Chain A
């Protein structure tokens, strides 16, 4: 580690003649000196994240299950065929989409509303800000357990208890609305995340321009629609994108609240089941490869959005 950092003094400042037009060194030694601090991190990432994916790809073409250790061999596309005719898996793709889209959109909408409220001056604003952030800082399994047992439970949960105060009859929330209870819990946890990013966006608006607009007679609604929203587009995209990356992979609430039953099994849960319960390595790998392909398609669009952010910075 230390050697890597010490190797970095690049001769660029000492011998400017060996750099090209953009200021990058041309000499091989100087180029490697620049790369040296980067290499440990890069090699580490390739070994820990890329090699397993290669392994997944290879295993996905094999018949391999822990319950039938003797029957192991090349299976061609059999696992992929099994994935495509598997109704449970197709259902879990749909569940993943519904879960991700509803959690992201709802928490974005709430997040924007709360950010607008927090962007104003009022008594105790920092206390309210702290209260809003707090849900994001509960360990996800703990939050799911809390909602399952202390909030949704039909007999002693908080919701039915409060309804009881008003003489109303509660229901068994989890069995009546299995996916809804998961969405509700996740929206509670992810709205703070959206709020924080959107609030930063609101606070980066140019105060003078807003003031000038108000002096020119723009109503608050007009300046929201014509000035705030266009300015916020980038922040909304970024918050939605980051939220989606995390929610697509979410496992804890599905595992805890419903254990994947009642049509709530999303892709991470289904792969976990194939691997952990069925111990079918070939099939789990094929599922994994297809998830990766699906993600690459979505991420290509997403990365384009982020790359515009980087370009802006580079042109600065």
Chain B
């Protein structure tokens, strides 16, 4: 965490202490630091409130005055996991894990060779191909939803997790290709020449030269694809039902709930968001590169 934020800018640190910067008074520096903290806390507040409420009893959660110091309990989590109602979120969580996990594996398997053919040994029209991939992200997914729904109905694969995960793979493949290409073009060509001179074949070059350099990039790409697939709700809601419903679809069951479900809703939101928070913080230093499809490093 600390290393990540501090690492890329040793020069700016020097700049801050340089003579030209001393005009900025100590008070200004302190004030701006405090402002940053205030803004940070403000942004984290809804999230902290969600986690706190998830550990409160339903009565405290539904109190008109915010109960900050109310006793903590696991009641909300117990009712989310179906202690009294018997409705378990586990099948939907497993479906989500399956859809996001397998689609991510598929994406990486397709995107690594594709990114290679678009950078290291590029095909002639590589930039056209890049734009084709990008253009599919511009097209509103909702316009393709209807035929997919009809096709799935015709093939009797509605409510089938495999159909959903193929769509997720197509949704994330352009992001992965763009992102992985941005890692591959960073490898100095001299490395490939040196490997070729040493008589390394393609597989050897891939294993010994390319993979060690881009494996952190592949990991970050995979984490970001996982997040997008895990978060998706519209396609999952239309294309799945009872058996293949994912965690976000399960959450839509809380859209109309009222009062006495608040702790349970917060517990549900916390549990479903936990994998994304973990994946996101694991990929934190590459998050920008992924979200900008490799355009920003």
Report if A178 contacts B (CB, 8 A).
no
A-B contact count (CB 8 A): 371
B170 and A306 form a contact (CB under 8 A): no
Residues of B close to A208: CB separation below 8 A: 11
Residues of B close to A292: CB separation below 8 A: 139-140, 143
For residue B30, give the distance in angstroms from its CB to the closest CB of chain A: 8
Report if B86 contacts A (CB, 8 A).
no
CA distance A161 to B230 in the complex (A): 33
For residue B205, give the distance in angstroms from its CB to the closest CB of chain A: 9
For residue A121, give the distance in angstroms from its CB to the closest CB of chain B: 6
Interface positions of B from 165 to 215, Cβ below 8 Å from A: 166-167, 169-170, 173-174, 177, 185, 196, 201-203, 206
CA distance A299 to B135 in the complex (A): 8
Residues of B close to A137: CB separation below 8 A: 227, 273, 276-277, 279-281
Residues of A close to B234: CB separation below 8 A: 251-252, 255, 268, 272
Residues of B close to A120: CB separation below 8 A: 16, 29, 32-33, 36
Report if B265 contacts A (CB, 8 A).
yes
CA distance A233 to B297 in the complex (A): 16
CA distance A122 to B36 in the complex (A): 9
Chain B 119-147: CB-based contact to A (< 8 A → 1; otherwise 0)? 00111100101111111111111111111
Chain B 1-19: CB-based contact to A (< 8 A → 1; otherwise 0)? 1101110110111111011
Report if B102 contacts A (CB, 8 A).
no
B147 and A59 form a contact (CB under 8 A): yes
CA distance A192 to B288 in the complex (A): 10
Task: Pick out which of these stretches binds chain B: A67-75, A80-88, A144-152.
Answer: A144-152
B46 and A146 form a contact (CB under 8 A): yes
For residue A214, give the distance in angstroms from its CB to the closest CB of chain B: 3
A49 and B170 form a contact (CB under 8 A): yes
Chain A 142-174: CB-based contact to B (< 8 A → 1; otherwise 0)? 110111111100011010111011000000000
Report if A289-B251 is in contact (Cβ < 8 Å); known contacts: A123-B33, A139-B273, A197-B292: no
Report if B220 contacts A (CB, 8 A).
no
CA distance A302 to B135 in the complex (A): 10
For residue A152, give the distance in angstroms from its CB to the closest CB of chain B: 11
Which single residue of chain B is at the shortest CB-CB distance from A5?
B113
Interface positions of A from 266 to 316, Cβ below 8 Å from B: 267-268, 271-272, 275-276, 281, 284-285, 287-289, 291-292, 295-296, 299, 302-303, 306-307, 309-310, 313-314
Residues of B close to A310: CB separation below 8 A: 127, 130
B138 and A145 form a contact (CB under 8 A): no
Chain A 47-87: CB-based contact to B (< 8 A → 1; otherwise 0)? 01111110110010000000000000000000000000000
Interface positions of B from 258 to 297, Cβ below 8 Å from A: 259, 261-262, 265-266, 268-270, 272-273, 276-277, 279-281, 284, 287-288, 291-293, 295-297
For residue B29, give the distance in angstroms from its CB to the closest CB of chain A: 7
Report if B85 contacts A (CB, 8 A).
no
Report if B20 contacts A (CB, 8 A).
yes
For residue A65, give the distance in angstroms from its CB to the closest CB of chain B: 12
Report if B111 contacts A (CB, 8 A).
yes
A156 and B259 form a contact (CB under 8 A): yes
B146 and A38 form a contact (CB under 8 A): no
Which single residue of chain B is at the shortest CB-CB distance from A287?
B143
A8 is contacted by which of B113, B131, B146 (Cβ under 8 Å)?
B113
A-B contact pairs, 29 of them (CB 8 A): A5-B202, A8-B113, A40-B113, A56-B144, A59-B146, A125-B36, A128-B36, A132-B39, A132-B44, A133-B280, A134-B43, A137-B281, A138-B47, A139-B230, A141-B231, A142-B269, A142-B272, A145-B251, A146-B50, A149-B254, A150-B262, A150-B265, A161-B64, A267-B140, A271-B143, A275-B146, A281-B150, A288-B145, A295-B140
14 other A-B residue contacts (CB within 8 Å) besides A41-B113, A117-B35, A192-B43: A6-B203, A45-B170, A52-B144, A122-B37, A128-B36, A128-B39, A134-B43, A140-B231, A150-B262, A214-B23, A268-B142, A275-B149, A291-B142, A292-B143
